[in-house]
Amino acid sequence: LYVDNPVGTGFSYTADDSGYSTDQTAVAQNLYAALVQFFELFPEYRNNDFYVTGESFAGHYVPAISYTIHQNNPGAKVKINLKGLAIGNGLVDPINQLFYDEYLYQHGLVDENGKRRFEQYQNAVHSQILAGDYKGAFRIFDEMLNGIFYQYPTLFQNLTGMHYYYNMLLDQEPPSSNDWKKFVEKPSVKAALHVGSRPLNNGTVVYRHLLDNVLQSVAPWLGSLLDAGRYRVLLYSGVLDIKLHHRGTMHMAQSLEWSGAERFRNNAKRTIWHVREQQNRCDGGNKTTVAGYATTSGPLTVLLVRDAGHMVPADQPVWALDLINRFTAGKTF
């Protein structure tokens, strides 16, 4: 079940400005209402295991809807059989994830001076977050790296010469990255999706309404879900991503407050994840490839995916399929 979330992204829409969400509680309430309606219309799916997945800023959306389901289920007429959640290169807890100075320096993308510049910027972002000025923090983050609304070259662009932070092997966005937009705008695809003649929204209006929320943390919700003991959580990261890199994801995971936090920090089990792939050979043989590395303790797994950037399914589709199939089947990595 694919959902254009929040309202105003993709083909979802609102006729009134007040219909746009301004925080994660509103985002989750809207999505929860849609899910309840879905299960009312299709009750045959109610007993199916239910998993929530998403990537990037869905690091906010996924915990928000999962926590809302968790809170509502006990008294709900329509219960959603939530089993787990998976987040890919997601922004969950900005103050414990958005650090770039050492990361860029260790990869040779900036020198000592550049490292100090990034340290100054990220310290300013963190100070604004701690002061509760989330829009101010976003403005600094946007100038440092994000570049969504900032009208000039970012610090990242100026110091690295790169204009793409989703895969450190690329300095420009690949032309093919927008092919999916051309596909979903086809009249035949729109007809199949029953969206009429509505244009595809790029999400900018949604982004503006959520500016005060982008750099707020949803880590407490994730901690509560882990503490519930009923849900498995997978945080996976393509190792080549710059914007929401694996080191930040691991640091965030190690900073989560829940009953198993100390065990995860000190005694988590690390395993090598192998994927068996069919080869285009005359003999039809297969080979086993190292796809990544998993760190697991209790219900929490942090997974590093090799040779992939911010969009793991686009960079490594075979491995991504194995990843989600293993997770939903309850298999180990």
- List pLDDT tens digits, range 199-239: 999 889 999 999 999 999 999 999 999 999 999 999 999 99
Residue 153 has pLDDT above 70, yes or no: yes
pLDDT at 281: 56
Q: Are residues 217 and 313 in the same domain?
A: yes
Give me the residue label for tokens 């919700």: 221
CB atoms within 10 A of CB 29: 16
pLDDT at 278: 73
Q: Are residues 86 and 131 in the same domain?
A: no
**6 in a structural domain:** no
Distances (CA, A) of 106 to 126, 169, 242: 21, 15, 12
Q: Provide the whole-model pTM.
A: 0.95
The tokens for 11 are: 């083909």
What single letter denotes the amino acid at residue 47? N
Q: How far apart are CA 333 and CA 323, in angstroms?
A: 8
Residue 282 has pLDDT above 70, yes or no: no
**Residue in 126, 310, 315, 322 annotated catalytic:** 310
Segment 131-157 shows an average pLDDT of 97
Of 307, 290, 301, 310, the closest CA to residue 244 belongs to 310
Residue 284 has pLDDT above 70, yes or no: no
Domain-terminating residue out of 157, 176, 195: 176
Residue 277 has pLDDT above 70, yes or no: yes
**69 in a structural domain:** yes
**Residue in 241, 245, 297, 322 annotated catalytic:** 241
Q: Are residues 320 and 229 in the same domain?
A: yes
Buried-state track 257-276, b at ≥16 Cβ within 10 A, e below 16: ebebbeebeeebeeeebebe
The tokens for 220 are: 């407490």
Segment 115-122 shows an average pLDDT of 98
Domain boundaries, position 65: 17-93+203-329
Average per-residue pLDDT for the chain: 96
Residue 72 has pLDDT above 90, yes or no: yes
Residue 112 has pLDDT above 70, yes or no: yes
Residue 179 has pLDDT above 80, yes or no: yes
pLDDT at 287: 85
Residue 330 has pLDDT above 80, yes or no: yes
**Residue in 56, 66, 217, 297 annotated catalytic:** 56
The tokens for 82 are: 């939530």
**318 in a structural domain:** yes
**4 in a structural domain:** no
Is-catalytic flag, 163?
Answer: no
Is-catalytic flag, 241?
Answer: yes
Residue 147 has pLDDT above 70, yes or no: yes
Q: Are residues 250 and 317 in the same domain?
A: yes
pLDDT at 332: 93
